[in-house]
Chains A and B, each alone.
Chain A
Amino acid sequence: GAGVSQSPSNKVTEKGKDVELRCDPISGHTALYWYRQSLGQGLEFLIYFQGNSAPDKSGLPSDRFSAERTGGSVSTLTIQRTQQEDSAVYLCASSLMWTVITEAFFGQGTRLTVV
């Protein structure tokens, strides 16, 4: 597609349920990022994938959070046993490998509400 696509746009889930958030990056982009944005706050780094390298998972807030990237393209962020504090907008971004100056292109995010 022309841009980074995220689905669903909005997700309401009950506390304790598992959720999966999907990110479809721009074709050919080797780097993929997940960020979390709580209401009125900045962007909190979660995880970063770059090509075939081991992902940088240092931002994941707990072991309830995990992410994978299949075939170097689509990524899924999974939150197990959701808690109310997980409510936020989850943003995905992708970029080309850093051999030249480039930018990160963002999707429109998934708004997660845990009730």
Chain B
Amino acid sequence: AQTVTQSQPEMSVQEAETVTLSCTYDTSENNYYLFWYKQPPSRQMILVIRQEAYKQQNATENRFSVNFQKAAKSFSLKISDSQLGDTAMYFCAFMKRRETSGSRLTFGEGTQLTVNP
């Protein structure tokens, strides 16, 4: 079974600064996907960024980037130039790659990020 661990229940950052959220996972699979989802107070889960395990290059999406270390099973999220709208719960998630059947998303416990003005 896969497990995802987020060791930082809460974090805070000043507006315009950079913050890094940690995520580690445990799996025996070789082909999988990793995701960061954002959940604001509205409860709507929003995909922030995803990474394919077979790609060595770290994914980036505007101010969001990841540091994917496959051997260490680490997948951290860096948010640059933090904005007040980034305040939310952030979840790291894992999904096995299946060509035809797909599989469940396994989530970490979440990190509550607060961006202070």
Contacts and interface: CB of A to CB of B under 8 A. Distances in A.
Interface string B27-57: 0000001010100001111110010100000
Interface stretch (A20-28, A71-79, A100-108): A100-108
Give the dominant DSSP class at B's interface: loop
B52 to A, nearest CB: 7
Contacts of A99: 99-100
Contact of B52 (A33, A41, A101): A101
Interface residues of B, number: 26
B109 A42 contact: yes
B104 A97 contact: no
Nearest to B46: A106
A93 B98 CA distance: 18
Interface in A34-88: 35, 41-43, 45, 48, 50, 53, 56, 59
Interface in B102-117: 102-110
A98 B101 contact: yes
Given A33-B104, A59-B104, 14 more contacts: A35-B105, A42-B110, A43-B105, A50-B101, A89-B43, A91-B43, A93-B105, A95-B102, A97-B100, A98-B101, A98-B103, A99-B100, A103-B47, A109-B43
Interface of B: 33, 35, 37, 42-47, 50, 52, 91, 97-110
14 contacts: A33-B105, A35-B105, A35-B107, A42-B110, A43-B107, A50-B102, A89-B43, A97-B102, A98-B97, A98-B100, A99-B100, A101-B33, A101-B52, A109-B43
